[in-house]
Chains A and B, each alone.
Chain A
Amino acid sequence: MANKIPRVPVREQDPARRATNFEEVCFGYNLDEATLEASRCLNCKNPRCVAACPVGVRIPEFIAALHRGDPAGAAAVIARDSSLPSVCGRVCPQETQCEGACILGIKGEPVAIGKLERFVGDWKLAHSSAAAEPVARNGRRVAVIGSGPAGLACASDLAKMGYGVKIFEALHKVGGVLVYGIPEFRLPKETIVAREIDEVRRLGVEIETDVIVGRTVTIDSLLDEEGYDAVFIGSGAGLPRFMGIPGENLNGVVSANEFLTRANLMRAYDEESDTPIYVGRSVVVVGGGNVAMDAVRTARRLGAEATIVYRRGEAELPARAEEVHHAKEEGIRFRMLTNPVEVLGTDDGWVRGVRCVEMELGEPDASGRRSPVVKAGSEFEIGCDVVIMALGTSPNPLLAATTAGLETDRRGCITADAAGVTSREGVFAGGDAVTGAATVILAMGAGRTAAKAIDEYVRRKFAE
């Protein structure tokens, strides 16, 4: 029988203190806390949480193992469906997925599924056996483009099936959005991301950095000259969008991608790093997603007064609830129903503020969200010296432009079916490169689905 106790609180760094450092905000559960929280699960016959998980992690089963005091067993249950539990436990939007569907959430607080998954993932990383079970190689080779969640998941599944897998990464560091996009205070790079990647390497996956597929090599050269039997594209959605308003090229206007890449990938906040970052005294971040929250909280940590400007209301913020909550605790200001119409500059071309209009919510649009409309005569100015645009990203057109027969849609996303099959034989794709900017778990799921499709394709090809 489930334990009718309130949700076990999770320990966090004090908001005032953490707003000045880049250490992880949330400490996570220890074994006692995790075991206690696990006792709250009703172990439903028809678990709604599993149905709400994009990759169908057998949630009640892993929680039951945890409740029995068997974290290794719990890790084995999760591993059947997810290859990055430490990451997903930290960055999944649980409130709209598993936890949002939890029966306990109807009257009270849902089981802390994300925090439990994180505990199990971290436990596994800490107790990982030195040698993975050797898998017999089948002599076939697959090239994976991009070392983000989709590529890592696809590569590890293929390696487990016996394929020789090599990941090609354009940047100097492995991990894709996990290293350039998501900040240290939300996803630690050395203790979590690097170790998840070590796990993938231990399966025999090779990783070559500094290779821009489409420039350094091409998909055709990988297939025809380097002897790969198939290619998986997991190149993500890396191209930042701007608003197209006057003043956007003033000094002090940056994309969230630039700001976060300087901070996360290049560690510009570290005295040791040669890469500069400019925050000024006052920062306005335009947007309401996770990337906007990451940028605004990074700016805060670098000493700036930081404000979110978002054109819809608070209920419409697409960011994870936890990030919005954390941002508020850290002293971030939120100006909802506000939209910039111009970036204002000084005579010498530096940002001095943004001119905004107030918005109100009208009729629901195609996405079901109420669309914002401009309130007449509502123009006003917000003074600031940096404006960070966090308006979303789209896939890099380079691969489609350099690969004959690889189709994309009008948004520039690579066309692929549910299994990851593209218009080009032997070429598969998944994650943000196909869907446009989405979540780590969806990308990971797409990578795993594509791994199955690649296996079927290669088997079929060589049976002929």
Chain B
Amino acid sequence: MFPILEKRCLAPGIWLMKVGAPRVARAALPGQFVIVRADECGERVPLTIADFDAEAGSVTIVTQTIGVSTRKICALEVGDALADFAGPLGHPSEFVRMSPEELRGRRYLFIGGGVGTAPVYPQVKWLHEHGVGADVIIGAKNKEMLIYTDEMRAVAEHLYIATDDGSEGFKGLVTQLFEQLIAQGCRYDECVAIGPMIMMKFVALTTAKYALKTTVSLNALMVDGTGMCGACRVSVGGRTRFTCVDGPEFDAHQVDFDEAMRRQGMYRTQEQRAAAIAAERAAGHQCRIGLDK
């Protein structure tokens, strides 16, 4: 069992949890993810790591309540424990493997959308600690839904905010803000975008116009997360890759986003059914799986 050491609400429906997982904390690097299971009946949910502290033995995850499983995870409190917390999985971000010489002088632009802003943080933090400059754009629906602004400000060179309704920062989409930055003369060697699939698709289309190398972190459906099931298949440059073991980060300009978005909807009707069952459970029905052991 993996204890929840800290829990904070970052925005409506978005929760930060610091989880005691010493082995994962020691091995984690920016860009990697974990598989989390709330209890014996729970799904294996892939979540990108939002921070880690090898000394304290803790790993931070940020979860948005979108379905039965994420709701279950977010319902746990400090003192409760997650049944499973396996990782770190996938490849770390490419820059982690680059030498100081290769990194010197490189400029990165990160674009985080919604809950996807959280996994941007360890990447910017890592670059900051290695003396590499990075600007960050955070996009959200409105001011209330913005997360990680203070943390990001501490590690980013410049932080730009875009909200759909203009309640904070730039009014409009992250892609529009990006184009404005370019028009103002900002230049980058690489863009890293993490957020909803639709945002990543349009970031990719926009950066392609400027021939700016762009990396995205895909949040495909997964079961095991270790290469066993292939549920996370994605077409990259016309080749089928597994997000879990070949990714989760890929060259944005090679990803077939339309296919990826369609594949995310594979179990939608089942999920709606699961939500109905969860409502029944909330009315007093208890999970029994694993109790017969």
Footprint of B on A, CB under 8 Å? 170-172, 180, 190, 194, 209-212, 215-217, 238-240, 242, 248-249, 251-252, 254-255, 257-258, 261-262, 265-267, 270-278, 348-349, 396-398
Contacts and interface: CB of A to CB of B under 8 A. Distances in A.
A272 B227 contact: no
Interface string B263-293: 1011100110110011000000001110011
Contacts of A274: 41-43, 68-69, 72, 274, 278
B23 interface: yes
B270 A277 contact: yes
A390 to B, nearest CB: 12
Nearest to B256: A249
Given A238-B227, A254-B230, A261-B228, A349 B262 contact: yes
> Which residue, of A190, A258, A277, has the highest number of chain B Cβ atoms within 10 A?
A258
Among all A-B residue pairs, the 8 with the closest Cβ atoms? A276-B270, A258-B229, A210-B86, A276-B267, A238-B228, A172-B84, A255-B230, A349-B262
A255 B224 CA distance: 13
A396 B226 CA distance: 8
A239 B224 CA distance: 11
18 contacts: A170-B224, A172-B37, A180-B224, A190-B293, A210-B86, A216-B24, A217-B23, A251-B263, A258-B223, A262-B223, A267-B289, A274-B41, A274-B274, A274-B278, A276-B270, A276-B274, A277-B270, A396-B226
A210 B41 CA distance: 16
Interface string B212-240: 00000000000110111111010100001
A273 B41 contact: yes
Contacts of A252: 266
Contact of A254 (B69, B228, B231, B273): B231
Interface of B: 23-24, 27, 37, 41-44, 68-69, 72, 83-89, 223-224, 226-231, 233, 235, 240, 245, 259, 262-263, 265-267, 270-271, 273-274, 277-278, 287-289, 292-293
Contacts of A251: 262-263, 265-266
Contacts of B293: 190, 194
Given A258-B223, A276-B274, A398 B245 contact: yes
A230 to B, nearest CB: 21
Contact of A266 (B43, B259, B292): B43
